[in-house]
Amino acid sequence: MFGGDANLDNTGLFEAIRKEREKKKMLDNSVPPEHIVVNEEKKQVTLDDIPPEQLASLMAELKKEIMQDMKSEAEKKAEEDRLRKEQLRKDRESYVERMKASDEPWMDIEAWDENKTGAKIELDWNDAFIKHLRENGIAGTDDDQVVQKWLILLMEDMTGKMADEAEEGDFE
């Protein structure tokens, strides 16, 4: 890592570390934290060897780097989410476009909003769906009216089936 003699004494080791830091500083043009002045007679550096003001400075720098990394991760995740949603929107638009052009009857619920007075339903359909409904006896002055009548018939059918099931009961 440091090059040169592998049997460096502590002074040589600290000098090699200092040189490596200087190289890194020159490579990434960032200003490294102040050099830590430690007891060079010890073989290991501990937190006790670092003066409190330098330790506080190092911890602040580390916290700043961690926060930047977290921010970068959050930004990356947000961008991935945005791209994923954009792709889903494009896929949905492509699907709807294909289905609207299809000869097969197609209907889709675009939105459903319930409140105290009822429900608001937004539907989308293709021409083949309207043709299918008209061929099966559901008439109307326009496409919206045909779909509304179909929806009413559907709800009446569902309500009737639920009433029949309630009359049968769960007990025999």
- Residue 130 and residue 143 in contact, taking contact as beta carbons nearer than 8 Å: yes
Higher pLDDT, 16 or 144: 144
| Three-state DSSP state, 91 | helix
Q: What is the pLDDT of residue 110?
A: 87
Q: How far apart are CA 16 and CA 1, in angstroms?
A: 9
Q: What is the dihedral of CA 12, 17, 19, 23, to 10 degrees?
A: 160
| Three-state DSSP state, 172 | coil
- Cβ neighbours of residue 40 under 8 Å, at least 6 residues apart? 10, 11, 14
Q: Using one digit for the tens of pLDDT, what is the confidence trace for 77-136?
A: 899 999 999 999 999 999 999 999 999 999 999 888 888 888 888 999 999 999 999 999
pLDDT over 70 at 142, yes or no: yes
- Residue 126 and residue 138 in contact, taking contact as beta carbons nearer than 8 Å: no
Higher pLDDT, 61 or 13: 61
pLDDT over 90 at 57, yes or no: no
